[in-house]
């Protein structure tokens, strides 16, 4: 490849991402989502400075207080401050989201890259594995994996991550099938570059767009799935502040203490909504043909 050609490709590549970033910043939904998400991340990082209450210590004298001056979101059946637990719960949920998506991406993208690039028998085997995993509706697969690994928060993250990975594999494989026909990939093959080098330096950057989109939306799905597992008693263990667990604890008090379930429920919804707005914005920005 001549120097001029390689320079032109790199500037084009950079400006494509920059164009996408500009398009993203012009999307009011996506900007709103990013701002809300920023506030949520800041709140969970700064949790100890935002509240003077302990998220776990019991305070029986303060039990079931409605929202008010001292306790903005009220207290639960053990007298714990709900605002404090919602803020600390954000740490747990965001952690679930990012750990699970990292696992999905590592497994799914590797599988998809290898299947799409090598084709043949490797593709056949990888695609079969993906088919079988896709034969289990998302949450049910995660449930089965948790059952095998044992129910706790870390295993819930792993289970959610593994159960979502076939989607990443499928999307990556499709994108790789297109990318490997590109002229510069063939050029790299002809010039004798090592396979892993071609995969990582030439193919991967060109399939990153769709992966970024599903990974972003995947964080939202992982947060919901993680909370669902905790809700069912197969994720975070009490007294961990976790939104799904808080909703499950509050069920018994729905009639008399609506605030126990309302605030963690709103927290999940706002977080997921913000991530979905960013994800939708990213999809539109990275693929202008999809914009309507």
Partner 1 sequence: MFQYIVRRIVAALPTLVLITMLAFSMLHLVPGDPAEIFLGENKSSPELLAQVRSDMGLDRPLHVQYLGFLGDMLRGDLGTSLNNGRSVVREIATRLPSTVELTLAALGISIVLGVGLGVLSAVRHNTWVDSAAMFVALLGVSMPVFWSSLLLIFFFSVKLQWFPAIGQGGIERLVLPAVALGLLSSATLARLVRSSMLDVLSQDYVRTAVAKGVRPRAVTFRHALKNALVPAITVIGIQFGQLLSGTVITETIFARLGIGRYYVDSLLNKDFPVVQALTLLIATAYVVINLLVDLSYSLLDPRIRYD
User: Shortest gap between Cβ of 231 and partner 1 (angstroms)?
Assistant: 5
CA distance 52 to 183: 60
Q: Least distance to partner 1 from the beta carbon of 240, Å?
A: 17
Give the number of other Cβ atoms within 10 Å of residue 108's Cβ: 29
**Paired tokens of 162:** 């593994």
| CA gap 232, 111 in Å, rounded | 31
Q: What is the b/e burial string over 245-274, where b = at least 16 CB atoms within 10 angstroms of the residue's CB?
A: bbbbbbeeeeeebebbbbbbbebbeebbbb
Task: Give the three-state DSSP class for 269.
Answer: helix
Residue number, 143 or 211, with CB nearest to partner 1: 143
Write down the residue that tokens 């499709």 correspond to.
174
Nearer to partner 1, 97 or 185 (CB): 97
Cis amide prior to 224 (ω within 30 degrees): no
The residue among 79 and 265 lying less far from partner 1, judged by its C-beta, is: 265
Nearer to partner 1, 113 or 247 (CB): 247
Shortest approach of partner 1 to residue 165 CB, angstroms?
15
- Comparing CA positions, the residue from 77, 96, 97 lying closest to residue 246 is 77
Contacts to partner 1 by CB under 8 A: 128, 131-132, 135-140, 143-144, 146-148, 150-151, 220, 224, 227-228, 231-234, 244, 247-248, 250-251, 254-255, 258, 261, 265, 268-269, 272-273, 276-277, 280, 292
Alpha carbons 128 and 141: distance in angstroms, whole number: 16
Q: Residue 239 has which token pair?
A: 């007294």
Q: Which is nearer to partner 1, 146 or 185 (CB)?
A: 146
Q: How far is the CB of 172 from partner 1 (least distance, A)?
A: 19
- Shortest reach from residue 48's CB to partner 1, in Å: 27
Torsion of CA 79, 80, 83, 85, to 10 degrees: -150
Are the C-beta atoms of residues 111 and 174 closer than 8 Å to each other? Answer: no
Nearer to partner 1, 152 or 206 (CB): 152
Residue 222 CB, shortest distance to partner 1, in Å, is: 12
For the bound state, the minimum distance from the C-beta of residue 176 to partner 1, rounded and expressed in Å, comes to 22
Identity of the residue, 119 or 265, whose beta carbon is nearer to partner 1 in the bound complex: 265
Q: What is the DSSP letter of 253?
A: G
Shortest spacing between CB 283 and partner 1, in angstroms: 11
Do residues 267 and 88 lie in contact, with contact meaning Cβ atoms separated by under 8 Å? no
**Closest CB to partner 1 among 33 and 108?**
33
């Amino acid at each position: 490849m001549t120097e001029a050609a390689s320079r032109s490709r790199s500037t084009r590549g950079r400006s494509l991402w920059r164009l996408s970033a500009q398009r993203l910043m012009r999307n009011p939904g996506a900007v709103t989502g990013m701002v809300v998400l920023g506030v949520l991340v800041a709140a969970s990082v700064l949790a100890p400075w935002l509240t003077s209450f302990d998220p776990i210590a019991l305070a029986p004298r303060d039990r079931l207080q409605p929202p008010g001056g001292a306790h903005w979101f009220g207290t639960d059946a053990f007298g714990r401050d709900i605002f404090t637990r919602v803020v600390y719960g954000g740490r747990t949920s965001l952690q679930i989201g990012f750990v699970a998506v990292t696992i999905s991406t590592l497994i799914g993208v590797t599988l998809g890259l290898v299947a799409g690039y090598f084709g043949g028998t490797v593709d056949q085997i990888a695609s079969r594995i993906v088919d079988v995993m896709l034969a289990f509706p998302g949450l049910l697969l995660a449930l089965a994996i948790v059952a095998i690994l044992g129910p706790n928060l870390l295993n819930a993250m792993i289970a959610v991550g593994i159960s979502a990975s076939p989607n990443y594999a499928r999307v990556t494989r499709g994108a790789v099938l297109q990318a490997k026909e590109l002229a510069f990939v063939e050029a790299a093959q002809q010039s004798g570059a090592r396979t892993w080098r071609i995969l990582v330096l030439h193919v991967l950057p060109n399939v990153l767009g769709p992966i970024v989109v599903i990974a972003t939306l995947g964080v939202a799905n992982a947060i919901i799935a993680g909370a669902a597992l905790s809700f069912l008693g197969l994720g975070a263990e009490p007294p961990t502040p976790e939104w799904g667990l808080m909703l499950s604890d509050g069920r018994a008090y729905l009639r008399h203490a609506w605030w126990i379930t309302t605030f963690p429920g709103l927290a999940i919804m706002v977080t997921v909504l913000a991530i979905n707005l960013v994800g939708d914005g990213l999809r539109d920005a990275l693929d202008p043909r999809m914009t309507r």
